Amino acid sequence: MEGDPFLPGTSVSLGDEVARHVRVRRLGVGTRLALIDGQGHRATGTLVRTAPTTTVEIESLAVSGPPAPVHLLVPIADKDRMMWLAEKVAELGAMSWRPVMYRRSRSVKPRGEGQMFTGRVRARMASALEQSGGVWLPALYPEANLTRAVAALPAEGTRIVLDRDGPALVGCDLTGPVSVALGPEGGIEPDELAELERSGFRRASLSASTLRFETAGVAALAIVAARLVEAR
């Protein structure tokens, strides 16, 4: 669940989605639960009420530092493939998820965009976070064109655009925060790539072959996050 930090000795009412999960699993009063808020807090407590609201009495709290500072520019693309990537991004611990409307994104149907889709992405990420034992939910931003998305990224750190013809990502010097741009299905148009390079992005490759954006996103995030954690 998301919300304010949990405080031992206090009671919290669960949101509708979490309360529904409690009912589906037929959890009764006295059940021990673990709660996360998506902001680094993991609490343990006891279910003390199921109606009219589902309430948990907090007993202990653990706080974890933020994930490696990796920010993803994700192409607006096929909604099912975006959803799969969102799940893996939550498991691996990206700091943010920012969908970009590339030129080639417009020809994709059905594509993942809009408030309803963002809500589904958030729910999928939350579920993946719970199952993987994570405690930080990536910050989700609304879709934007390339110029606006790039302007909203951290000004400092390293900027990488994945490109098959670039040097290997594993050998690149990385200084956090790291922003990684994933291209859309069919690739980034030359003028879009030039715009990224003018904004400080360096090309880097993952493979000699062309990877699907969701495969590239998982591989790049795993490499970059591991490198940043190692450098701490």
Query: Tell me: the pLDDT tens digits for 34-67?
Result: 888 899 999 999 999 988 888 999 999 999 999 9
**Measured between alpha carbons, how far is residue 41 from residues 44, 96, 135 in Å?**
10, 18, 6
Domain boundaries of the chain, sorted by first residue: 11-63, 70-231
Instruction: Specify the fold of 11-63.
Output: Ribosomal Protein L25; Chain P (2.40.240)
Say what the pLDDT of residue 1 is: 47
Query: Tell me: the pLDDT tens digits for 156-175?
Result: 999 999 999 999 999 999 99
Say what the pLDDT of residue 5 is: 64
Spatial separation of the C-alpha atoms in residues 191 and 199, rounded to whole Å:
12
How far does the chain reach from its first CA to its final CA, in angstroms?
29
Q: Do domains 11-63 and 70-231 have the same CATH topology?
A: no
Spatial separation of the C-alpha atoms in residues 154 and 11, rounded to whole Å:
37
Q: Which CATH architecture does the domain made up of 70-231 adopt?
A: 3-Layer(aba) Sandwich (3.40)
Report residue 188 as tokens.
């980034």
Give the residues of the chain that fall short of pLDDT 70: 1-5
Say what the pLDDT of residue 149 is: 98
The answer to whether 118 and 131 are in contact (CB under 8 A) is no
Report residue 39 as tokens.
């902001």
Say what the pLDDT of residue 24 is: 83
